[in-house]
Structure 1
């Protein structure tokens, strides 16, 4: 029997001997850091949760009075309580990542039996939230409970206070409205401290808990709806009270030096409402550009919020906003580089494959994605695409598949290709004069390759959703061939497509050339469902036709930049630490040499100075680190390596035009089952898996439309809740990106 036979777990192969055990002292340090991080986070969240209680509020006021005489004053005291913890956690997370190094989950000891995991157990599968895991459901409940509790506590307080005074009904109504309006605003401000954390794409916090950006955007959307609802109630209650008092216009236009600047708050709220309305699902789907452009008003929203409330109130949410600014500036610096498109080819289904140049030490996992900008199409639009190649496919390039589904992708295809003749799908040719100026942000994705955690994998794709699964398959084949630690040995791919011409996407991976003996080492099945064709085409059984690929001589540029938060932990850590220290220094110098000597007291003015310090610390102190990072990057890049890889890719593409499509399709044909005019029956599919593999953990990864995800999640939830002891546990993982 082959030592990597399908009857033998690959984790026990010769590559397992190469896995180095983590030293005991490293494990101890990691455990201590993890406990400290959790302790700080729980204490921080508990304080915010209990703050509406009167006794906690009194303790907080005593803290403010005791520390207000420091250099940083009240602003420093509030910042230390509400924003300081998240920055300290970021520092500790950097240390944790540095100590962890390249440790991967598949290197850890496998569990003896299947276990339920809250983060892969779907609880809600239909509704406005989409598919929600048990962990996400608990988080949603906690935020809802906090808002209900805080509003109830503040309402009881105001009703108790107002009973002590002899007021008219009009005065009572206005007093209650303004007090509740104030409290809605304060609750919204606490949530704002969380709102910007999920959209910091390369954030060390997301890397610490291994939440990729495509998942985190959902949390940003949920928090955004809740936060804007509270801010809207905040403004609405004040407007109603001012209308009752008869001074609505005067109050709206008021801009106080001591106290809140109402007009600045109105501008901030209007910007937030415009972002909120255009981010609703119907508008976002039908008018994506409108959503994208109006969402850039976040800068107006934040700046005028600081003008509205001043520095010390703004400091409540400043920590999360500061981490977002750090990530945004780093992405801006990375995206300035023009990236070379090594080659491009078109498949009969209209999908374009681009091969992009990257440096050898750019780190990413198979389930990663990039943001791509093509300046000939738009200077502002960035579109996410899953990486369709494994990091083991080549040191100096990565591939993406782009299907023409909208205006931007159709225009990209039109710029690359021209059409002539009566058979458009067979007469598409590359334009050698095509000029493309491409820029890239990323790659982003899971910190660890979680697809390697399971011995049995079910990959469910819809249409172009097969793209990341091609990367997974290639990654597993490379690891199997090279004897690297690799747990998966049973793989089922369920792929639903509209037309049979989409099958040509499978020709982008040649499993035989990657791992010649893969059939002896992997149990691979591919079930394809062609939903809009009732019978196979006449050329059934022949290899899907692909178009000749070609280098893009007009695509000038360099390798992708390494200036990405998910890349080099040391440099990105230095960037965060230096910017944070710089921010503290700038605020301290401002207080010592300007605010205190000149008795600056205007809230709005101190608010804009505070924001200026945040920006200046990132641009100056962080920019210095980025500059050194860039020089280090250039020193590590060698022209010879890139030239050798370009030649290698050119040869690879040329070989594909001759023999790739036939050998690849013949290899896949033996393990592929194609059904026409039907959709996947997940009840039958998961039932067969349950009977075949018994009590094991089965990883299910879905990439496709929401209806596909809901169908799979519903069946998994049903199977897991009715599970017998001799059946597997299915773990739901979504890889669908939905902005």
Structure 2
């Protein structure tokens, strides 16, 4: 009999009451989350529908009536358009903050489905081509965006023909070009409203829908190409019209006070074209620094766009830009700190390992990544790297593995070698942004995992393996029971990377709960080298410093939900206050009418609200961080410092020796045959959901996605359903 309900216990005992209160609280939180989520989607769908339907004449007339009805407010036309077209995304951000706070740290609230089923986000539809690997959900998004652009161009073209009927032949062509140029610019502004959302690294919107920044960048790339095509056609149509009318130079250098100022538009378009041209893959691979530096012209692009169109037209895209400014300022505040490098080593396989200090309360998961700047190499360049350590590996450190592939990484390697030769303790001065990543560690949501890595793509999977083993040992929530690791490398000197995780030391007898198979493919060697059997084994342990005042800063969008929420809300409210004060005490009393000037003031209000109102919250957040550090330091005085296993020198070992319970197969001179691998898994694992996570070059992702799509189409009823997930970061 249940003790809580035995005859010896009162009906309303504290235990019973406590359980009842817990259940009521759980039901209330679940209902609150469902309500918030439903409200968010209703607002989002209504906002998208409004943008989609605006080209229709009927809805355009309703929009004009709305402006006339609300233009008498202190905010004027600017406030009317801002509330209708940018307000929804800010309201959604507020609701997303509330949802994240209510959800708390319950990272494992997703339940593994009893019946395997296909999911739109993990079913690859397109596996090759200009878009790379595209899931069914992403394909639907692409189709909807394409449908909007086609519909809007068609609707505006029909209306342009109707308006041009009243002009003679030459004027008709010019009027047609100018109207179409104007409308293409409007469509471009609506695309611009979405363009900055995916690159806000700690954005509450990305966290709400659980799309990590490294995955969202591809949406920014797609939207960037579409936006620049529209803006380029917008400018080109006007240039052709002005040339036909014989006033090209006059119009290009024109800077009107009332109406659109052309010269700022030319400057903005040139900045956009420079960013666009250098963003193409051949240019990025040829000279990444050129791409990186020209992309900083986004400041020129945005500011001169505001000067070009004025305040009320700029508000059409202001919501997404404002959220980006919020994220950028927070990143700036976090990255000002120099982080302690606990350990820096060069491994024989051409890889660098960096271990940096972090506070105990810094939140991240095993599939997170960080941006690193090394000031001795460059003050401007930031490079992303996957975290190679689990959050459970240690309270006060975080590790990354860096493959030496370009100029920046080669310089970093030389710095470390020089420091080791001189036995200097201070190797480099590192600044860090992040960690960023999935809100929920989705690698823990599948009972069956296939991890496919190419070269240094093994790094996040080392963190996954370590995370799973720690959780198994500590009895924490963890679904994975079967794991297959497929690792393709060029040469066998990379094999020691796998030994950097001592699985048996982390969780003795883990084979009783987790089955791990490892298939290694050495593609450019036909047979094992003479020194086969050498592995990397840990050297003597070194003590990690106790909580460091120079550890990673917790000032990050994915950090404390309450602080980051206060930062977003205070900045937004401050922006509305500044804009209202500006209109009431300056623009309206003094009759300021210059469009370009009001556009500049609008942008200034955006930046000032983030710096002043958001800056105050960041200052308080920083003080809270220092107090947390003081408490950590006080609590750690009587505890032993944690140990970090650092990679040491290679020592001979029998190649057949393996961890107990792990099956390891190494093949030389061949590449992974994914059809064969998936068929083997299908017969062995049966009708289950299988999470497939790929980290490697685009060709590897395409190969895996192609086989998953093929298997999904031809699968038998008793075979698994494979779910494609990519963890590759490609700027």
Q: TM-score, normalised by structure 2?
A: 0.93
What is the aligned partner in structure 2 of residue 288 from structure 1?
Answer: 288
What is the aligned partner in structure 1 of residue 9 from structure 2?
Answer: none
Separation in structure 2 between the aligned mates of residue 661 and residue 697 of structure 1, nearest angstrom: 40
- Are 2:502 and 1:499 aligned? no
Separation in structure 2 between the aligned mates of residue 644 and residue 507 of structure 1, nearest angstrom: 33
Where in structure 2 are there 5+ consecutive unaligned residues?
1-18
What is the aligned partner in structure 1 of residue 144 from structure 2?
Answer: 142
Q: Structure 1 residues 473-482 or 657-666, which shifts more? A: 657-666
Separation in structure 2 between the aligned mates of residue 605 and residue 330 of structure 1, nearest angstrom: 27
Distance 1:643 1:274, change over 3 A: farther
Separation in structure 2 between the aligned mates of residue 409 and residue 723 of structure 1, nearest angstrom: 44
What is the aligned partner in structure 1 of residue 208 from structure 2?
Answer: 208
1:525-540 matches, within 5 Å, as 525-540=517-532
1:87-98 matches, within 5 Å, as 87-98=90-101
Please list the CA deviations of residues 387-415 of structure 1 after superposition, one character each: whole Å capped at 9, or x if unmatched.
00000111111100011111101110110
Separation in structure 2 between the aligned mates of residue 414 and residue 646 of structure 1, nearest angstrom: 36
- Are 2:33 and 1:30 aligned? yes
- Are 2:330 and 1:327 aligned? no
The SS at the match of 1:648 is coil
- Are 2:576 and 1:573 aligned? no
Deviation of the 1:630 alpha carbon: 0.1
What is the aligned partner in structure 2 of residue 340 from structure 1?
Answer: 340
What is the aligned partner in structure 2 of residue 160 from structure 1?
Answer: 162
Separation in structure 2 between the aligned mates of residue 716 and residue 569 of structure 1, nearest angstrom: 37
Report if aligned partners of 2:549, 2:629 keep a CA contact under 8 Å in 1: no
Deviation of the 1:430 alpha carbon: 7.4
Please list the CA deviations of residues 529-548 of structure 1 after superposition, one character each: whole Å capped at 9, or x if unmatched.
00111111122233247788
Deviation of the 1:507 alpha carbon: 2.0
What is the aligned partner in structure 1 of residue 82 from structure 2?
Answer: 79
Deviation of the 1:104 alpha carbon: 2.1
Separation in structure 1 between the aligned mates of residue 36 and residue 485 of structure 2, nearest angstrom: 39
Separation in structure 1 between the aligned mates of residue 620 and residue 353 of structure 2, nearest angstrom: 34
- Are 2:188 and 1:188 aligned? yes
Distance 1:271 1:689, change over 3 A: same
Please list the CA deviations of residues 540-583 of structure 1 after superposition, one character each: whole Å capped at 9, or x if unmatched.
23324778887899xx9711000000010000000000000000
The SS at the match of 2:402 is strand
Report if aligned partners of 1:543, 1:665 keep a CA contact under 8 Å in 2: no
Q: 1:114 aligns with which of 102, 116, 124?
A: 116
Separation in structure 2 between the aligned mates of residue 330 and residue 516 of structure 1, nearest angstrom: 42
Please list the CA deviations of residues 16-39 of structure 1 after superposition, one character each: whole Å capped at 9, or x if unmatched.
x9xx97711111111111111000
Please list the CA deviations of residues 47-105 of structure 1 after superposition, one character each: whole Å capped at 9, or x if unmatched.
00000000000000000000000010000000000000000000000000000011224
1:643-658 matches, within 5 Å, as 648-649=641-642, 651-653=643-645, 657=648
What is the aligned partner in structure 2 of residue 9 from structure 1?
Answer: none
The SS at the match of 2:590 is coil
Q: Structure 1 residues 606-615 or 665-674, which shifts more? A: 665-674
- Are 2:721 and 1:726 aligned? no
The SS at the match of 2:106 is coil
Please list the CA deviations of residues 393-445 of structure 1 after superposition, one character each: whole Å capped at 9, or x if unmatched.
111111000111111011101100149xxxxxxxx867426541100000000
Separation in structure 2 between the aligned mates of residue 56 and residue 43 of structure 1, nearest angstrom: 13
Please list the CA deviations of residues 92-136 of structure 1 after superposition, one character each: whole Å capped at 9, or x if unmatched.
00000000011224x443322101000000000010110000000
What is the aligned partner in structure 2 of residue 4 from structure 1?
Answer: none
Distance 1:664 1:629, change over 3 A: farther
What is the aligned partner in structure 2 of residue 133 from structure 1?
Answer: 135
Distance 1:430 1:90, change over 3 A: farther
Separation in structure 2 between the aligned mates of residue 286 and residue 69 of structure 1, nearest angstrom: 54
Separation in structure 1 between the aligned mates of residue 549 and residue 655 of structure 2, nearest angstrom: 32
Separation in structure 2 between the aligned mates of residue 569 and residue 657 of structure 1, nearest angstrom: 39
1:691-710 matches, within 5 Å, as 691-710=683-702
1:425-464 matches, within 5 Å, as 431-432=423-424, 435-464=427-456
1:279-678 matches, within 5 Å, as 279-418=279-418, 431-432=423-424, 435-544=427-536, 558-638=550-630, 640=633, 648-649=641-642, 651-653=643-645, 657=648, 666-668=657-659, 671-678=663-670
What is the aligned partner in structure 2 of residue 422 from structure 1?
Answer: none
The SS at the match of 2:589 is coil
- Are 2:256 and 1:256 aligned? yes
Deviation of the 1:350 alpha carbon: 1.6
Distance 1:550 1:239, change over 3 A: farther
Deviation of the 1:285 alpha carbon: 1.2
Separation in structure 1 between the aligned mates of residue 387 and residue 296 of structure 2, nearest angstrom: 26
What is the aligned partner in structure 2 of residue 14 from structure 1?
Answer: none
- Are 2:58 and 1:55 aligned? yes
What is the aligned partner in structure 2 of residue 3 from structure 1?
Answer: none
Report if aligned partners of 1:348, 1:547 keep a CA contact under 8 Å in 2: no
Distance 1:576 1:664, change over 3 A: farther
Distance 1:659 1:188, change over 3 A: closer
Where in structure 1 are there 5+ consecutive unaligned residues?
1-16, 420-427
- Are 2:50 and 1:39 aligned? no
Separation in structure 2 between the aligned mates of residue 546 and residue 506 of structure 1, nearest angstrom: 12
Separation in structure 2 between the aligned mates of residue 277 and residue 55 of structure 1, nearest angstrom: 38
Deviation of the 1:345 alpha carbon: 2.2
Report if aligned partners of 1:262, 1:308 keep a CA contact under 8 Å in 2: yes
Deviation of the 1:721 alpha carbon: 1.3
The SS at the match of 1:23 is helix
Q: 1:65 aligns with which of 51, 65, 68?
A: 68
Please list the CA deviations of residues 631-656 of structure 1 after superposition, one character each: whole Å capped at 9, or x if unmatched.
0000000373798799735x5447x6
Separation in structure 1 between the aligned mates of residue 544 and residue 727 of structure 2, nearest angstrom: 30
Distance 1:496 1:429, change over 3 A: farther
Please list the CA deviations of residues 653-678 of structure 1 after superposition, one character each: whole Å capped at 9, or x if unmatched.
47x65999969994448521100000
- Are 2:231 and 1:231 aligned? yes
Report if aligned partners of 1:501, 1:544 keep a CA contact under 8 Å in 2: no
Higher relative contact order, structure no. (Cα contacts within 8 Å, ≥ 6 residues apart): 1
Q: TM-score, normalised by structure 1?
A: 0.92
The SS at the match of 1:532 is coil
Report if aligned partners of 2:358, 2:552 keep a CA contact under 8 Å in 1: yes
Separation in structure 1 between the aligned mates of residue 651 and residue 36 of structure 2, nearest angstrom: 50
